[in-house]
Amino acid sequence: MPLAAAASLLMASAAFAQSRVTLFGVIDEGFNYLSSAQTARPATGPVGHSQYSLQDGATGGLGGSRWGLRGEEDLGAGLTAIFHLEGGFNVNNGTLAQGGALFGRQAYVGMRSDALGAVTLGRQYDSVVSFVQLYSSAAQWGGYIGAHPGDIDNLVNTHRINNAIKYSSPDLHGLTFGGLYSLGGVPGSVGRNQLWSAGFNYSNGSFGIAAAYLNARNPNLSFFGTNPNNGTTVASNNFGSAGSATAPEVNTIQAGYASASTAQIIAAGTSYQVGAATLGAVYSNVQYRGLGNTATSGPNPLGYRGAAVFNTAEANFKYQITPALLAGAAYVFTKNSGAGGLGHAIYQQGSTGLDYFLSKRTDTYMILVYQHASGTDSLGRAAIANIMGQTSSASNHQVAFRLGIRHKF
């Protein structure tokens, strides 16, 4: 009997040694200045004032504060069971991010093969984020406020994908690829609210290139409505809002297109490193097709029909001044071709930043962003500036500055 107990204990210890669970997280906090923040929108037009605030990284910094658990179990023969649970929070008040979801950033479980890649199930990032994001300045040093206007192409992963089946390939001499499919879950309609994406990345020494595609049916619900506090009916507008006499407008860049039957994102990025300098470029084409679908998508107060098309181009540069100090600069040009003769707008944005690493886990940083808008926005009004994560401006231009600190654990 003692011998059997010892054997059982030995087997349990061996099994435990093959499993691993890691607690991880990020805390990103900083001081933000905004040159113009809407405080009201009376009939005469928006009014606003400058704003000073403390903000979590999720709205103004390099990365949202978060904590999580990830684990794996070696099953033998090159096969591993894996899981990832990750939730965002606001360090200023302790509330949960992503609409109050406990694990709103990612939550999945799956299997990984050394030879064949990984299949995971749950709430996950799409292929645009997985493959193209790393080439954008926002992912490197520009942060959330340095994202493309309205995060029009989701390159700072404003939107996560629920109910998703995802495949990720192994690294094949610098080439990785994969795809994702999200089930809509609507009885009697397989295609409604479904989403799929695919992409690749190739990296070889100093050169890298990536491209990805995303297609979302009924995007007001399937793509923009994936957080717990978002609207769950077609009467809601998860794209944004027109504001009121007492509230600022939200995401005027695309708030008028909630009735789209389909959203499509095509994105590509590349970079080339020369010594301590890296030159990069990103392009995206975003289309909201089938506008006017109020039956299964969302509201259409302006009576749009057809499609609205956004083209965005970014040029970025970073320089590793010392092993601990990084500097960057970027320019972004976004054009909305409008829909039904309305909503033609141009957004131009410049940003610069410095990131100084005090250690492997802790860094301090500075980001400065300027945005200028012209034309007519998606709400049929004179376009206003709206730096990502910040309150809309009361005019066609806006400046955001952040001084932050980030700690990883």
The model's confidence at residue 236, banded by pLDDT at 50, 70 and 90, is: very high
* Interval 146-156: pLDDT, tens: 999 999 999 99
Q: What phi and psi, each to the nearest 5 degrees, are found at residue 4?
A: -65, -40
Q: What percent of the chain has pLDDT over 70?
A: 95
- Is residue 398, in this structure, part of any structural domain at all? yes
Among residues 346, 284, 309, which one has the least CA distance to residue 138?
Answer: 284
382, β-bridge pairs: 376
Among residues 348, 318, 400, 359, which one has the least CA distance to residue 141?
Answer: 318
Give the list of residues 6+ apart from residue 312 with CB closer than 8 angstroms, or none: 148, 149, 152, 153, 282, 283, 284, 285, 286, 332, 333, 334, 335
* Interval 47-60: pLDDT, tens: 999 999 999 999 98
- Is residue 1, in this structure, part of any structural domain at all? no
* Interval 36-91: pLDDT, tens: 999 988 888 899 999 999 999 999 899 999 999 999 999 999 999 999 999 999 99
Q: What phi and psi, each to the nearest 5 degrees, are found at residue 200?
A: -150, 160
- If one counts the domains in the chain, the total is 1
Environment class of residue 285 by beta-carbon count within 10 Å: exposed (0-12), middle (13-18) or buried (19+)?
middle
Residue 284 has pLDDT above 50, yes or no: yes
The residue range of the domain holding 340 is 21-408
Residue 406 has pLDDT above 90, yes or no: yes
> If you average pLDDT over residues 245-269, what whole number do you get?
96
- Is residue 2, in this structure, part of any structural domain at all? no
- Is residue 356, in this structure, part of any structural domain at all? yes
- Is residue 235, in this structure, part of any structural domain at all? yes
Distance between alpha carbon 317 and the CA centroid of its chain, in Å? 21
3-state secondary structure 117-172: EEEEEEEECCHHHHHHHHHCHHHHHHCHHHCCHHHCCCCCCCCCEEEEEEEECCCE
- Is residue 9, in this structure, part of any structural domain at all? no
CATH number at residue 273: 2.40.160.10
- Is residue 16, in this structure, part of any structural domain at all? no
Q: Which residue has the higher pLDDT, 120 or 340?
A: 120
- Is residue 262, in this structure, part of any structural domain at all? yes
Q: What phi and psi, each to the nearest 5 degrees, are found at residue 294?
A: -80, -10
